[in-house]
């Protein structure tokens, strides 16, 4: 523990002035699974190799409220891999969908509020002929992640946070390729 603190002090105090960057330092021990609080990290200026995966101080708001993926020692630098995914609110579920070009608005981004519109009844032998969801039904959600789809497809792979009561039908419709995202309002 003392060694970690000494190394941190040496890097902060003894480093060259050029090449410094602001990163997050863990201020107190945080057990794995504990949600990071504002007082658990603080910004420090250090000289570190650009290849070292340290969380920039400007991203503090992104890590506060997320669980520690591993035990964090006071005086250690925070790396992106040491922080887990943000926990979903009670009663929420995350549903993934691969969307074709035209099934989402241009510029779709994480944080966008959307309506997930089911575009057609999906019935078939694999589901016993039972409709997944009626055509034209919709569910409100919030986009959690957006990634490019397969190269050249023009599509996206997204995850959308929806209520637990809607998650199954949205997931079945998404798996059948029968959902469209409609932007509901500002981010």
**pLDDT tens digits, one per residue of 173-185:** 999 999 999 999 7
* Burial track 91-127 (b if 16+ CB lie within 10 A, e otherwise): eebbbebbbeeebbeeebeeebebebbbbbbbeeeee
Structural element, H or E, at residue 113: strand 113-118
Per-residue pLDDT of the chain (187 residues; tens, 9 = 90+): 554 444 455 555 554 456 799 999 999 999 888 888 889 999 999 998 888 889 999 988 888 888 888 899 999 999 988 888 777 788 889 899 999 999 999 999 888 899 999 997 645 444 554 445 566 789 999 888 788 888 888 899 998 999 999 999 999 999 999 999 999 975 4
Q: What's phi and psi for 114, nearest 5 deg?
A: -135, 160
Does the predicted model carry a pTM greater than 0.75? no
Q: How far is CA 25 from CA 42, 80, 145, in A?
A: 5, 12, 27
CA-based torsion, 127, 99, 171, 67: positive or negative:
positive
Residue 139 near residue 112 (C-beta atoms within 8 A): no
Residue 115 near residue 182 (C-beta atoms within 8 A): yes
Judged by DSSP in three states, 25 sits in strand
């Amino acid at each position: 523990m003392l060694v970690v603190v000494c190394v941190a002090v040496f890097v902060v105090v003894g480093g060259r002035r050029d090449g410094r960057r602001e990163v997050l330092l863990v201020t107190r021990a945080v057990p794995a699974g504990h949600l990071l609080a504002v007082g658990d990290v603080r910004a420090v200026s250090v000289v570190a190799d650009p290849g070292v995966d340290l969380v920039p101080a400007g991203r503090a708001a992104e890590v506060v409220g997320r669980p520690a993926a591993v035990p964090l020692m006071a005086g250690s630098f925070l790396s992106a891999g040491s922080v887990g995914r943000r926990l979903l609110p009670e009663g929420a579920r995350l549903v993934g969908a691969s969307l074709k070009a035209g099934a989402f608005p241009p510029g779709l981004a994480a944080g966008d509020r959307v309506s997930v519109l089911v575009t057609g009844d999906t019935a078939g032998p694999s589901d016993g002929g039972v409709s997944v969801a009626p055509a034209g039904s919709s569910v409100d959600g919030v986009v959690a992640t957006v990634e490019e789809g397969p190269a050249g497809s023009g599509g996206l792979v997204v995850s959308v946070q929806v209520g637990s009561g809607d998650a199954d039908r949205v997931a079945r419709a998404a798996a059948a390729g029968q959902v469209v995202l409609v932007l509901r309002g500002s981010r």
